Structure 1
Amino acid sequence: MREFSSGIIVFRRVLGERFYLLLHYHYKGDYWDFPRGNIKEGESAKEAAIRETREETGLTENELKLVEGFKEEVTWFYKFLGQTVYKKVTYFLAETETENVKISEEHVGARWLSFEDALRLLKYQNSKNLLVKAETFLKNLDDQRSASAVKPGV
């Protein structure tokens, strides 16, 4: 059995600091993680990620600015009704200026957290690794922008 999902690591900036959105999942366990869900037939991973994020957070495509160049895939196996399921989740990265989210009934909470606090709250190592990759990617982007903004003789 195979299952394909996608999601978005959503962040916003407040006074120059990044805060990441985590949702509190209560089905199939009790944990915090990024918005994600199954890819429907005929959907691309990116289309599904945007749809799932809208359904789970209320954030619309217009409120999400996808960060070009970031796409990570996470895979694992799990057991369901005695069968081994191969799961692959494709993650994208997006910035928003919207603070208020409207969670779906799949979740019992949502929080904007600093990188360090989000890293502590995430339960699964795959998610922790994703967050580190996202933060590193964004730091590198910030460094590149700063370097290109500095002009000799100014």
Structure 2
Amino acid sequence: MSKRAAGFVIFRRLCDQIQFLLLRASYGTYHWSAPKGHVDPGEDDFTTALRETQEEAGYSENDLIIYKDSCMTLNYNVNNKPKIVVYWLAELKDPQKAPTLSDEHTEMKWLPKDQAKEIVGFADNQQMIEHFYQYIMNKK
């Protein structure tokens, strides 16, 4: 059975630039990713995304403009086991509000699209950042 996770790809508009929030994991390969986490029993994906973003970045639903029509699902394997991760795009209302990291992450970065794509490394994450960037550009 696949593990499910959910989260938000958070961006901010700063000095006419779109920047994406990425967090560096404090475990495993120390990979960079958007805030996300496993779906708890009885929890839906969206509720998980809200909870995990609060836990991992300190942002609540009130801090974000959530684009509910911008859902994207990634399917991949972790340790030879299937994983499904559902992401929504979310804009930080106050671009100056700093995230509050949990102990699951060692650092964070706000990066423009190309640098964000470079640091995440995985092709599906790169495609997702590009997809959400195009979504943002089309919303202007």
> TM-score band, normalised by the shorter chain?
over 0.9
> Within 2, Cα distance between the matches of 1:62 and 1:94?
11
Larger Rg: 1
Mapped contact 2:26–2:103 kept (Cα < 8 A): no
Letter in 1 for 2:34: F
Question: Residue deviations 1:107-131, cap 9 Å, x none?
Answer: 0001111112111211211111110
Structure 1 residue 43, shift from structure 2 partner: 1.3
The residue number in structure 2 matching 1:92 is: 88
The residue number in structure 2 matching 1:114 is: 112
The residue number in structure 1 matching 2:50 is: 50
Give the TM-score normalised by structure 1.
0.85
User: Structure 1 runs of 4+ off > 4 angstroms?
Assistant: none
Structure 1 residue 77, shift from structure 2 partner: 2.1
Give the TM-score normalised by structure 2.
0.93
Structure 2 gap segments, 5+ residues each = none
Question: Residue deviations 1:124-143, cap 9 Å, x none?
Answer: 1111111011001111111x
Mapped contact 2:57–2:101 kept (Cα < 8 A): yes
Aligned to 1:70, what secondary structure does the other structure show? strand
